[in-house]
Structure 1
Amino acid sequence: MSVTFKDVAQLAKVSTQTVSRVTNGSKNVAAETRKRVFIAIEQLGYVPNKGAQILARAKSKFVGVITVDILHHGASNFVRGIHQQSKELDHEISLSLLTDASFENVIASIKEFKSLRIEFIIINVPLLKEQAEQIVTQFQTQQFIFIDIPDNTQAHSICADHFTGAIQAANLMLTLQKKHILLLSGPKNTLAAEQRIKGWKKTLKAKHIVGLLYGNWAAETGYKLTKNCLKTGIIFDAVLVGNDQMALGVLRALSEFNLNVPTDVAIIGFDNTEDSAYYSPPLTTIEQSFSDIGKQAVLSVFHNAKNQHSQFTHQKFKTTLIERQSTGPSSHLL
């Protein structure tokens, strides 16, 4: 006995009209409701009628993008690059914004894109090697490119050269003859944070590092971590920070303790956000081009679709040291 719309509707606890809207790709359905319908379809093994099956074989003119909150500088510029390049290739983008970037939510987003016949999917969510490989194996009709996953993963990926960028920052601190350097990283178990830590540690001697602390990329954690170090008497003359937002919090904490930047403490961030040049003082940072990475992600996922038997590629984008007043006079003048 074949499964019907009514069966799906009963299991998902929605109307048959809602099931119809979901299967036809209507956007006028709540995300939670849409998710229940997809789960019911999968559990029941629902197969649309012949006409719908023919339609389903047609490819969508959308690029699916699964990303963390685009309120963050990196994610917003990354999506902007994807949108610009997709337009060049006569495609629009379909966004799945994850406030909870769990693996389960990533899988749910992929299933939704698949139901909408979206072939090209770009994933900008921190994933483990095993998770990315599971996605590639589980969804073989989709083309994926991942942002910031380990380069030994059996999947296509692209990222900034976080390791080299961190070395650039650490070398500048050594040029400035800094002896007591505090490291403020992004979250554990994220490729960007791990590679930046490796770059810092490769360049600095252990005696130069007074501490390694982890934040969550937000200014608040940079502020709280720095303030706690100052309260507990940790002495440092430089801070290497995982990103510019955290560096903003570091500046606030140092100001509250009447410490001058760069005279007392030099600071280097990472990303070169649009407002980092307007911090007080303007922030020395490592630039990575989120927009260019987004554009290349689109070009790569289209290329990979035409060359499906090629080896997995792991592209890295060059980083650039941008010197400003948070480290004092340019190192070229020293």
Structure 2
Amino acid sequence: MVTIKEVAKEAGVSVATVSRVLNNKGGASSETIAHVENIIKKLNYKPNRLAKSLSEGNSNLIAFLVPTLNNPFFPELIKEVERYANKNGFHILLCNSDDDRAKVEYYLEAMMDQYVSGAIINSLHVGPSDLAVLEERGIRTITIDRTNFEHSYSAITVDHSLGAQLAVTHLLRDEQCNNLVFISGPKNEKSAIDRLTGFTLALNEAEHPVKTTICYGDFGIESGYENAKALIQKGQTFDSIFCANDAMAIGAMRACHEFGIQIPGEVKIVGYDNVSLSSYTYPPLSSVDQCKHDIGKLAVSELIDLINNKNQKPKQYQLEPSLVIRNSSGGNRHV
């Protein structure tokens, strides 16, 4: 890679002169400017954007730490965040932690080494002390959902308890289900705990007796498939399944198809996330929409405000999800 020093040497001028030409700051004759521009083109020199940003005291790089790329919700959220960031002149440094604290520590260091201006954090393994270190280094932060909401920095969360209530109430009240399986996320995962809370609240409000079974998955397709398959193989009967995310719901649908169980005729299924794929499953999957478009836009706009105004106080937001009802649970409507 050609350096600015090599351009200066080839052009027979100082590095400062090349820098002035690159930044249109004058200070040289028109002949010198034309000569330097020809050398830049000849050597195919590309300025270091990061160095330029740092010299101007403004990096246009935002880090986005996500817990996994296996759950289809996160690639879709990344796309939303990147779209809004790019519209505002920022670029994304993607950090996939795989829910591994060692990888989280590596990426936290990388954020500081890469001189990012801000960081959007979505991870179980980032705590208030980590956020404090980033903020002390001048990296403004906003957390999303999985990160502990109980800190003093900017944060966005979704009311997952409400989302689960909407899904379960739909199955119990609208579809008159009375034998419900809940395939939850991991026991120690905050959003999974919130969804379990909503599941319980909906049961407490049920107008008829409901038999329930709770299984625990890892938010992956395979865990939804294996949980549903195990129940079917044991001979357990049920008329509905609510899954804590769409990936596990898609796995549960696969298990039902393999054993000839009709959806929604014999078993009604609702997922959570409303990923794009949920519209294309067979049958199309009912799902709780947790506002990824709003999350992406709000996270970026809030973070940019924090970056541009060092004295701005952090804000914390809670978004309300909605239920999109499709054929997997009996219909097509939005609640």
Q: TM-score, normalised by structure 1?
A: 0.75
Any idea what the Cα deviations from partners look like across 1:202-243, whole Å, max 9, x if unmatched?
111495242111111121111110111122232211111111
Q: Distance in 1 between matches of 2:332 and 2:93?
A: 43
Give the Cα separation in 2 of the matches to 1:305 and 1:61.
Answer: 10
Give the CA RMSD over aligned residues. Answer: 2.5
Instruction: Tell me the equivalent position of 1:195.
Output: 194
- Residue correspondence of structure 1 range 257-276 to structure 2 within 5 A: 257-276=259-278
Is residue 2:114 matched to residue 1:116?
yes
Contact 1:226 1:250 in 2 (8 A): yes
Residue identity matched to 1:117: Y
Provide the residue aligned with 2:144 in structure 1.
147
Check whether the contact 1:65–1:121 (CA below 8 A) recurs between aligned residues.
Answer: yes
- Please, which runs of 5 or more residues in structure 1 have no aligned partner? 1-51
SS at structure 1 position matched to 2:121: strand
Inter-partner Cα distance in structure 1 for 2:311 and 2:54: 27
The CA deviation at 1:286 is 1.0
Counterpart for residue 107 of structure 1: 105
Q: Provide the C-alpha distance between the structure 2 equivalents of 1:88 and 1:199, rounded to a whole number of angstroms.
A: 36
TM-score, structure 2 normalization: 0.75
**Is the CA contact (8 Å cut-off) linking 2:124 and 2:148 kept in structure 1?**
no
For residues 1-334 of structure 1, what are the structure 2 equivalents within 5 Å? 58-99=57-98, 101-127=99-125, 131-139=126-134, 140=136, 141-148=138-145, 149-175=147-173, 176-205=175-204, 208-306=210-308, 312-329=314-331
- In 1, the alpha carbon distance for the partners of 2:149 and 2:66 equals 20
Per mean C-alpha deviation after superposition, the further-off stretch among 300-309 and 215-224 is: 300-309
Change in Cα spacing, 1:188 to 1:273, as seen in structure 2 (3 Å) is same
SS at match of 1:270: strand
CA shift in 2, pair 1:55/1:87, >3 Å: closer
Deviations 1:163-205 (A, max 9, x none): 1111110110122111111110122222221111111111114
Provide the residue aligned with 2:18 in structure 1: none
- Counterpart AA for 1:90: G
Q: Give, in whole Å, the separation in 2 of the partners of 1:307 and 1:202.
A: 41
Is the CA contact 2:271–2:285 (under 8 Å) kept in the aligned structure 1? yes
Larger radius of gyration: 2
Identity of aligned residues (%): 26
* Closer/same/farther in 2, CA of residues 152 and 96 from structure 1, 3 Å limit: closer
Contact 1:64–1:122 (CA under 8 A) maintained in structure 2: yes
Structure 1 position 289, deviation (Å): 2.7
Taking a change above 3 Å as real, the CA distance of residues 330 and 116 of structure 1, as seen in their structure-2 partners, is: closer
Q: Which runs of 5+ in 2 are unaligned?
A: 1-50
Displacement after TM superposition at 1:311 (Å) = 5.3
- Measure how far apart 1:247 and its partner are: 0.9
Deviation at 1:97, TM superposition (A): 2.2
Cα distance, 1:55–1:312 mapped onto 2, change above 3 Å: closer
SS of the counterpart of 1:136?
helix
C-alpha distance in 1 between matches for 2:189 and 2:143: 13
